[in-house]
């Protein structure tokens, strides 16, 4: 990673949420960061100066405005380059979490006449960390993933990538590819003394290994998306089967109206639910049935449309009544989909059993039927375990495998794999080594773009523009 250490503006922003809290932090970074803070800071004795402070020290005192009025009592952290988040001189003013106090301190920093300080752009602190070579692009993107983590898995994976798990994997692959490129180029430059032909079996073995590793990373992307973004889950069933009761059980409170009247739910109701590290985006739908009620018809249409985008369908079957045409209609919708069947109302006398339901399903499909009672919570733990096994092979949180969660990374890996496949085609067709080198270099550059080795300024700007202010 190239190190820039550019002579650039000093910037500042509020780095904590702009809301009432115990503590608020105003971050200043750049060549004049310490000097700018020194103009505003006063120690209780009025003697010490931040400009004389040792790096990575904290100082108690007050921040004053341009007229000498005290704004707040603060702790000021002084950190000198390069051992800082941005690899630049950095000051963090820790004040009380009053929105007015934070904004007034920031405003005072930005309007300091002696030293120009401008407001940081979204993600500019992390962008500077990348440009100054402190972190690679994959780690920078993981910072934003960490901020937006919605469950334990997302948190675990983001921290792993910030610590360099993906970076190390990519660097190892690039190093191996570059070695082979150098070997090929050397043989092309001096064919009389360095023949690549004897090395072909070993090269083909290496090529196959890279393809397997990259293919595996690509396969993790689906699990990564589901774990980080959440599993789009749609509850489906005929009226009064217990769909809304299931949603309320999963949420832990009454969010959906539950009555004995069939057709109570008319519209879609979506809730974000966390189950032992899994995030479910659960949508309760109108009961699927034939109806003359125009409003209910619209609800049924919306229910069926929502099924098309779902990662998982939870079919609630009312075990206390016989199966009917509505159940047959729902069973046909499940074909080719990932689903779990909850045989609900097991607390009542059973009229419909597992064997009855199985008769409606494709015998070739994986059948998962869980006896369930939304009223009593029976089957809840089995449902959670089933979802973990179904989507994440039972290894949701505790494995240390590199998992791809970024769509940009997945696309680059797919393009890298295509380049390697072209190398394999050239190899099998007996083409000369210079064809290998062209596609190998393409793979080398594509995979390098994941960690920021082969990216343009426009892409860097676009990536960091998605960051929150102050980070």
Please write the tens of the pLDDT for every residue from 15-66: 998 888 899 999 999 999 999 999 999 998 876 689 999 999 999 999 999 8
161 and 297, same domain (yes or no): no
| In a shared domain, residues 238 and 361 | yes
Q: Residue 471 falls within a domain, yes or no?
A: no
Q: Which helix (H) or strand (E) holds 390?
A: helix 380-392
Write down which residue in 135, 162, 183 finishes a domain. 135
Q: Is the pTM of this model over 0.85?
A: no
Residues 295, 203 share a domain = no
362 and 251 both lie in a single domain:
yes
Q: What pLDDT does 261 receive?
A: 36
Residue 226 has what pLDDT? 74
Q: What is the per-residue pLDDT for 6?
A: 46
- The reply to whether 175 falls in a domain is yes
Shared domain for 268 and 385, answered yes or no, is yes
Nearest to 311 by CA among 219, 393, 215, 229: 229
pLDDT at 326: 83
* Residue ranges for the chain with pLDDT beneath 50: 1-6, 254-267, 289, 394-399
259 and 373 share one domain: yes
Q: Is there a single domain that holds both residue 248 and residue 367?
A: yes
Residue 56 lies in a domain: yes
Judge whether 358 lies within some domain.
yes
* Number of separate domains in the chain: 3
CATH code of the domain containing 16: 3.30.1360.120
Q: For residue 370, what are the domain limits?
A: 233-392
Clarify whether residues 374 and 258 are in a common domain. yes
Instruction: Report pLDDT for 12.
Output: 95
**Is 425 in the same domain as 359?**
no
For position 356, what pLDDT does the model report?
A: 87
Same structural domain for residues 118 and 158?
no
**Last residue of one domain, picked from the residues 359, 392, 425:** 392
Taking only the tens place, the pLDDT of each residue in 133-157 is 899 999 988 888 888 777 777 777 8
Q: Based on the domain organization, do 285 and 326 belong to the same domain?
A: yes
pLDDT at 255: 47
Is residue 280 one of the residues assigned to a domain? yes
In a shared domain, residues 324 and 196: no
What is the C-alpha to C-alpha distance for residues 33 and 101, in angstroms, rounded to an integer?
A: 20
Residue at 397 is within a domain: no
């Amino acid at each position: 990673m190239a190190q820039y250490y550019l002579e650039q503006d000093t910037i500042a922003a509020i780095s904590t949420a702009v809301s009432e809290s115990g503590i608020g932090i105003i971050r200043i970074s750049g060549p004049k960061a310490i000097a700018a803070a020194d103009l505003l800071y006063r120690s209780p004795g009025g003697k010490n100066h931040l400009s004389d402070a040792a790096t990575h020290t904290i100082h108690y005192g007050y921040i004053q405005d341009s007229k000498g009025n005290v704004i707040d009592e603060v702790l000021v952290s002084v950190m000198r380059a390069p051992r800082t988040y941005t690899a630049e001189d950095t000051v963090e003013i820790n004040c009380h979490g009053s929105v007015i106090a934070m904004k007034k301190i920031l405003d005072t920093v930005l309007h300091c006449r002696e030293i120009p300080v401008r407001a940081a752009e979204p993600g500019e602190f992390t962008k500077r960390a990348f440009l100054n070579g402190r972190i690679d692009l994959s780690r920078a993107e993981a910072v934003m993933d960490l901020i937006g983590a919605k469950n334990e898995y997302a948190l675990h994976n983001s921290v792993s990538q910030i610590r360099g798990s993906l970076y190390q994997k990519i660097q190892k692959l690039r190093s191996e590819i570059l070695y082979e490129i150098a070997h090929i180029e050397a043989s092309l430059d001096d064919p009389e003394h360095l023949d690549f032909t004897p090395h072909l079996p070993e090269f083909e073995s290496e090529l196959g290994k890279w393809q397997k590793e990259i293919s595996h990373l690509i396969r993790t992307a689906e699990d990564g998306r589901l774990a980080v973004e959440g599993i789009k889950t749609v509850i489906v069933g005929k009226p009064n089967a217990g769909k809304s009761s299931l949603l309320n059980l999963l949420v832990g409170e009454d969010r959906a109206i539950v009555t004995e009247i069939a057709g109570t739910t008319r519209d879609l109701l979506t809730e974000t639910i966390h189950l032992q590290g899994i995030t479910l985006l659960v949508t309760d739908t109108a009961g699927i049935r034939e109806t003359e009620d125009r409003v209910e018809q619209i609800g049924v249409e919306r229910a069926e449309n929502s099924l098309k985008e779902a990662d998982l369908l939870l079919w609630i079957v009312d075990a206390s009544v016989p199966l009917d045409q509505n159940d047959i209609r729902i069973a046909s919708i499940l074909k080719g989909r990932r689903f779990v069947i909850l045989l609900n109302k097991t607390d009542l006398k059973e009229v419909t059993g597992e064997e009855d339901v199985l008769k409606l399903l494709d015998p070739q499909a994986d059948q998962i039927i869980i006896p369930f009672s939304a009223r009593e919570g029976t089957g809840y733990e089995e449902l959670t375990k089933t979802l973990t096994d179904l989507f994440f092979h039972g290894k949701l949180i505790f494995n240390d495998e590199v998992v791809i969660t970024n769509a940009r990374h997945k696309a680059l890996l797919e393009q890298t794999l295509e380049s390697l496949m072209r190398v394999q085609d050239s190899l099998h067709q007996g083409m000369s080594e210079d064809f290998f080198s062209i596609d190998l270099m393409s793979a080398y550059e594509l995979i390098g773009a994941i960690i920021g080795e082969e990216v343009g300024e426009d892409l860097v700007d676009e990536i960091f523009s998605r960051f929150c202010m102050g980070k």
